[in-house]
Amino acid sequence: MNSLLRAWTRALAVCAGIGAAWLVLALPASANDLDDIRANKKLVWAADQEGGGPFIYPSDDDPDVLLGFEVDMAEKLAQYLGAEDVFAQGAWDTLLDLVQADKAQIALNGYEWSAERADKFEASIPYYVYALQLMARKDDARIAAWDDLKKPKPEGGKWQVGVLGGSASEEVVAEHCGETTCEVIPYDGNTDAMRDVEIERLDATLQDTPIAAFYGKDFPALHYVDKPVAPGYYSIFVKKGETELIRQLNEAIVLMIRSGDLERIYRKYGIWDELNEQLLEFAENAKYWGYLKASMAEVEKVEMPDEAAVADVSTRKEGWEIVTTYLPTLVQAAGMTILLSVVSFPLAIGIGVLVALGRLYGPGWLRAPLTAYVEFLRGTPLMLQLYFIFFVLPEVGINVPALATAILGLAINYSAYESEIYRAGLQAIPPGQMEAALSLGLTRAQAIRTVVLPQAFRIVIPPVVNDFIALFKDTSVCSVITVIELTKQFSILSKSTLAILEMMGLTALLYLAMSYPLSLAARYVEKRLGNTGAIA
Amino acid sequence: MIVVEGLVKRHGSNEVLKGISLTVAQGEVAAIIGPSGGGKSTFLRCINGLEPFQGGSVRVGPHTLAPGTVAPATLQAVRRQVGFVFQQFNLFPHLSVLDNLLLAPTVALGEARDAVLPRALALLDRVGLAAKRDAFPRDLSGGQQQRVAIARTLVMEPACVLFDEPTSALDPVMASEVMSVITDLAKGRQTMVVVTHSMHFARTVADHVHVFAGGYDVEHGPPSAVFDAPQHEVTRSFFEKAGKD
């Protein structure tokens, strides 16, 4: 009994040690981001490739190369700060959290300026003026203006209008169209809504002007309806209190506007429009806001790209070319999926077995906390746990890197399920087995190790394999903490290439290629152990 | 060898053993008989420390089990002196016959496998199962499993072996296989306590017979005395129902 407790404590200490080793890898947060940028000559900027063009997207010619007006901007901004730009991938809705948790220094990814955001973060002056453009089918005579949407739909029911979920467009539709005649359908990606208008599942869609301009050419059946409405501004966001950094970024933006650098970049991606003429005014007025140096400095005007170059930034692939171009990138992401699974699962089993043993055979005082551990982890979503480790722990000075967070989070989350499986497995062993072992003079710990556990291991093979496959697929949740695995890479590429079907096929094949051998191996192990006398 | 004094065992408010005192001498074969529910099995389990008890004491050689929780080291010391053969055999299903025998000496005593092997093989031979050394328990008949279980107990070289109704789960043919092994052991002067329904065994093999009923050791003595001239009414009515063979 005592030796069991000792063994248990020792094993737990090992686990804690592994955890602590990870924490040591964490970097201490510095006092001032601008000093960091200048000292390390690195500007870490956060964006989401999955958001797609024209903001940031993988090149069609080489998916390892990133394109987009914000990519070009980041490079320029870094130059102004005397640094190199380092891209940090993050899910779009967590980019500000990345900045808050010191995982990135700036968020530069089409974030609209809003009073709420500017209150919680330092916001730059606008770098782009966007508006919302209504789009419908060219051959749809029913919709020629916003006013048409205020009339009842001739066929009955409401007009179906697709918007980007969680964006300002939801309110704008309500305001311009009226809730009685229009129904807002939220979408995750930009192009999905356009496609659904094309195939007549939607009547219209409301899109940010840069997206409409960039992807419009891929949907020739659609056209703009009316003038864009509800203009707003994209701003860069940095952590609250980083006033010196935001000041330097603002100076850089002013200089880029005055030199025509921003216009050049926007023209390159076909998103320069009348609205953005306003930027020149901002630059002109910057001297009143304290950016005197930037607004008065001599700047050399840059040359604008010629119109032919603007037409296509990269070429779309088709058929076999898609496989040869993107498969390596997908395979690489699949490697991450495998890495996450095979490292975290053994940890999960190790912790799970210890928890199960502690609950069944441990001293009384240990049982309640272990039960709480299992119930808490099973009762809360994996995503929240990952989010907590990655974004919340930095607030108290614990900064765990993304990959370590992913492995640790998966291992801890799954350890709860594993412990329940092993608890059931251990309890399924008839008590006579333990009694026989004890009566032969074995200690309780020896009996557990040599008699009870080996039999429990055999019983739990099927549910454990099941759990491994579940974990294997759950690795995709790790994209919320910036880890790019197969599913996230699929989303990124399918949105940037629009070759959704082909990407889906390749991704499914890769998943199958990984999970089928696993099933075979599991079946083999099950059969082998079954032959050597599992429980009768 | 084994001295039990005033053993009291309760399950909640139900008193299963009501103060049993019993002595088993070195080399003695004691049989415990009596109606079901009389506390026979519980008594055996208390001697081996598989059940804690509330009163009295159990002394095995130099070790004493006291009421309540007993230190693991004491339990282990007692169990290494006293083997236990279960009604349901309780072989380890994940181990071969030979490994069932080797487990305890190698794990609990830390003996080398090669050192135990001759002893284990000799015991398998003694119970007539040398040919089954590599079989798994599920491939054996009940009688064969119980013989392996006996060999598994003996390989630890216990001073005393407790048998808890070793043939109750077996048909008559298999039961007699097992009984002949136990009888053989008795001839070798192995100290043992056998809880049994076999009156024949108690009468012909045991040195001393105890009749348990209602938590008491109501009557005990040499088989001739107990069987031929039972003193107690409970013993007589038990023999009327169970017979004497």
Q: Cβ of B72 and A1 within 8 Å?
A: yes
Question: What contacts A409, CB < 8 A, 6 or more positions away?
Answer: A382, A385, A386, A389, A390, A478, A481
- Nearest Cβ partner for A439 among B83, B92, B107: B83
Q: Which of A47-61, A97-111, A379-393 has the lowest mean pLDDT?
A: A47-61
Strand A42-47 to strand A84-89: parallel, antiparallel, or no bridges (unpaired)?
Answer: parallel
pLDDT at A24: 46
- Using CB atoms within 10 A of its CB, is residue A414 exposed (0-12), middle (13-18) or buried (19+)? buried
Q: Which residues pair with A161 in a beta bridge?
A: A184, A204
* pLDDT exceeds 70 at position A471: yes
Cα(B182)–Cα(B150) distance, integer angstroms: 9
* pLDDT exceeds 60 at position A533: no
Please report which confidence band the pLDDT of residue A308 belongs to, taking 50, 70 and 90 as the band edges: low
Cα(A236)–Cα(A527) distance, integer angstroms: 58
pLDDT at A224: 94
Question: Strand, coil or helix: what is B12?
Answer: coil
Buried b (16+ CB within 10 A) or exposed e, A301-313: eeeeeeeeebeeb
* pLDDT exceeds 80 at position B53: yes
Q: Cβ of A439 and B108 within 8 Å?
A: no
Q: What share of chain B in percent tops pLDDT 70?
A: 100
Token pair for A218: 């891929």
pLDDT, averaged across chain A:
86
Please report which confidence band the pLDDT of residue A315 belongs to, taking 50, 70 and 90 as the band edges: low
Q: What share of chain A in percent tops pLDDT 90?
A: 47
Higher pLDDT, A18 or B136: B136
Q: Cβ of A440 and B72 within 8 Å?
A: no
User: Is the separation of the CB atoms in A509 and A432 below 8 Å?
Assistant: no
* pLDDT exceeds 60 at position A20: no
Best residue in B92, B113, B155 for a mutation probing chain A (most A CBs within 10 Å): B92
Q: Cβ of A455 and B86 within 8 Å?
A: no
User: Is the separation of the CB atoms in B82 and B29 below 8 Å?
Assistant: no
Phi first, then psi: give them for residue A20, nearest 5 degrees.
-65, -40
* pLDDT exceeds 60 at position A3: no
* Closest chain B C-alpha to A535 CA, distance in angstroms: 6
Please compute the mean of the pLDDT values over residues A491-500 and round it to a whole number: 81
Question: What contacts A41, CB < 8 A, 6 or more positions away?
Answer: A82, A83, A84
Cα(A491)–Cα(A189) distance, integer angstroms: 9
pLDDT at A18: 56
Instruction: Provide the 8-state DSSP code for A341.
Output: H
Ranked by mean pLDDT, which of A39-43, A227-231, B91-95 comes out on top? Answer: B91-95
Instruction: Provide the 8-state DSSP code for B232.
Output: S
Q: Which residues pair with A240 in a beta bridge?
A: none
* pLDDT exceeds 70 at position A17: no
Determine the angle formed by the axes of helices A320-361 and A402-428, rounding to 10 degrees. Answer: 50
User: Is the separation of the CB atoms in A92 and A48 below 8 Å?
Assistant: yes
Residue with the two structure tokens 């240990």: A366
- Nearest Cβ partner for B84 among A439, A450, A534: A439
Nearest to B44 by CA among B165, B190, B220: B165
Cα(A64)–Cα(B90) distance, integer angstroms: 62
Token pair for B78: 């007692």
pLDDT at A171: 82
* Closest chain B C-alpha to A366 CA, distance in angstroms: 19
Question: Chain B within 8 Å of A432 (Cβ-Cβ)?
Answer: yes
Q: Cβ of B92 and A534 within 8 Å?
A: no
| Chain B residues closer than 8 Å to A438 by CB | 49-50, 75, 79
Question: Chain B within 8 Å of A455 (Cβ-Cβ)?
Answer: yes
Q: Cβ of B108 and A440 within 8 Å?
A: yes
Q: What confidence tens digit (pLDDT) does each residue in A247-268 have?
A: 999 999 999 999 999 999 999 8
Quick one: how far is CA A198 from the chain centroid? Answer: 28
Nearest to A116 by CA among A96, A102, A142, A140: A96
- Nearest Cβ partner for B72 among A2, A432, A437: A2
pLDDT at A302: 79
* Closest chain A C-alpha to B108 CA, distance in angstroms: 5
User: Is the separation of the CB atoms in B122 and B151 below 8 Å?
Assistant: no
* pLDDT exceeds 50 at position A534: no
Cα(B87)–Cα(B54) distance, integer angstroms: 25
| Bond before A54 cis per omega within 30 degrees | yes
**Closest residue in B to A1 (Cα–Cα):** B72
* Closest chain B C-alpha to A431 CA, distance in angstroms: 9
Please report which confidence band the pLDDT of residue A165 belongs to, taking 50, 70 and 90 as the band edges: confident
Token pair for A196: 């659904």
* pLDDT exceeds 70 at position A313: no
**Closest residue in B to A433 (Cα–Cα):** B90
| Chain A residues closer than 8 Å to B72 by CB | 1-2, 443-444
Phi first, then psi: give them for residue A490, nearest 5 degrees.
-60, -45
Q: How many residues does chain A have?
A: 536
* pTM greater than 0.90: no
- Using CB atoms within 10 A of its CB, is residue B236 exposed (0-12), middle (13-18) or buried (19+)? exposed
Nearest to B191 by CA among B63, B5, B23, B64: B23
* pLDDT exceeds 90 at position A172: no
Q: Which of A424-433, A444-453, A456-465, B141-150 has the lowest mean pLDDT?
A: A456-465
Question: Interface pTM (ipTM) of the complex?
Answer: 0.95
Question: What contacts B64, CB < 8 A, 6 or more positions away?
Answer: B57, B58, B74
Q: Cβ of B94 and A454 within 8 Å?
A: yes
Q: What confidence tens digit (pLDDT) does each residue in B149-197 have?
A: 999 999 999 999 999 999 988 998 899 999 999 999 999 999 999 999 9
Cα(B145)–Cα(A120) distance, integer angstroms: 74
Q: What confidence tens digit (pLDDT) does each residue in A180-234 have?
A: 888 889 887 778 899 899 999 999 999 999 999 988 888 889 999 999 998 999 9
Phi first, then psi: give them for residue A4, nearest 5 degrees.
-65, -45
| Chain B residues closer than 8 Å to A444 by CB | 72
Higher pLDDT, A166 or B189: B189
| Chain A residues closer than 8 Å to B50 by CB | 435, 438-439
| Chain A residues closer than 8 Å to B154 by CB | none
Strand A237-238 to strand A106-107: parallel, antiparallel, or no bridges (unpaired)?
Answer: antiparallel
**Closest residue in B to A432 (Cα–Cα):** B90
The three-state (H, E, C) secondary structure of B111-178, written as one string: CCHHHHHHHHHHHHHHCCCHHHCCCCHHHCCHHHHHHHHHHHHHCCCCCEEEEECCCCCCCHHHHHHH
Phi first, then psi: give them for residue A133, nearest 5 degrees.
-110, 125
